[in-house]
Amino acid sequence: MANIVDPLVGQIAARVRTERERRRWTLAQLADASGVSQAMISRIERGESSPTAVVLGKLSAAFQLSVASLLALAEGSLADGTRADGVQTEGTREEGAGGHGGAAGGVRRRDDAAEWRDPATGYERRQITSPRFPAEIAEIRLPAGARVPYPAAAFAFVRQVVWVLDGRLTFHDGDTVHELGAGDTIELGAPVERVFANTTDAVCRYAVVLTRGARP
């Protein structure tokens, strides 16, 4: 994987705050909707705490966004120099199709891709597509023994495919458990609670492909 980009923590902080303020929610209202404590949300928004994958799942569910969408919005802001409030900063955007954060057809170099690591499990996520692309593709590395649960609402408003690239993934789709190996895919149906687990002693690498649905 490329280097983990620390500024992404600040972009996630700004995105969470922006999504909350866009809904005119107080910290207490977001805490009630997500099940994440008000103190933790406050630390995340100030950039004082890096949220875990589980916490991001709860926050994205409250916003009725997928985790991928929430992170892609933050990563897109970092990549193209656009702040979380949509303001373009100077000197960060390359014009034309050649810019790694630019229009469709642009080249994004591997080393330019922002990555995020879950501080609790070591789960690593790299965004493959830019926020301008009509589908979202992300590459995930799930360490040996890691287990990441998400609430059903985190899968609302999207159609999603999980594609295992290397290793084995134990995927809990509601009450059903699927053992997926390299090359296996699963198309997700109606939103249910889901768990991504690696019960092996080797890293599991998989891709998540989703199309955006209606946003609140």
User: What confidence tens digit (pLDDT) does each residue in 63-110 have?
Assistant: 988 777 787 777 655 444 433 333 333 333 333 333 434 444 678 777
Q: What is the pTM of this model?
A: 0.75
How far is residue 33's CA from residue 99's CA, in Å, rounded to a whole number?
39
From edge to edge, which strands make up the β-sheet containing 147-150?
147-150, 194-197, 169-173, 176-180
pLDDT band at 12 (very low <50, low <70, confident <90, very high): confident
pLDDT of 216 higher than 80: no
pLDDT of residue 7: 61
The sign of the torsion formed by the CA atoms of 72, 78, 79, 82 equals positive
Burial (CB count within 10 angstroms: exposed 0-12, middle 13-18, buried 19+), residue 76: buried
Domain ranges for the chain, please list them. 7-212
CA 33 to chain centre: 19
pLDDT of residue 197: 98
pLDDT of residue 168: 98
What's the rounded mean pLDDT across residues 145-169?
92
pLDDT band at 206 (very low <50, low <70, confident <90, very high): very high
Q: Is 204 helix (H, G, I), strand (E, B) or coil?
A: strand
Contact 69, 75 (CB under 8 A): no
How far is residue 204's CA from residue 181's CA, in Å, rounded to a whole number?
9
Query: How high is the mean pLDDT of the chain?
Result: 81
Closest by CA position to 205, among listed 188, 176, 183, 174: 183
Give the CATH fold of the 7-212 domain: Jelly Rolls (2.60.120)
pLDDT of residue 182: 98
Instruction: Give the orientation angle of helix 53-63 with respect to helix 27-34, to 10 degrees.
Output: 110
Which has more confidence, 45 or 94? 45
pLDDT of residue 49: 87
3-state helix, strand, coil in the chain (%, to 5): 30, 25, 45
Which has more confidence, 149 or 8? 149
Q: What is the CA radius of gyration of the chain?
A: 17
pLDDT of residue 6: 52
Q: Is 30 left (phi over 0), alpha (psi -120 to 50) or beta?
A: alpha
- The DSSP bridge pattern shows strands 147-150 and 158-166 to be unpaired
Q: Which of 19-33, 93-107, 115-129 has the lowest mean pLDDT?
A: 93-107
pLDDT of residue 61: 87
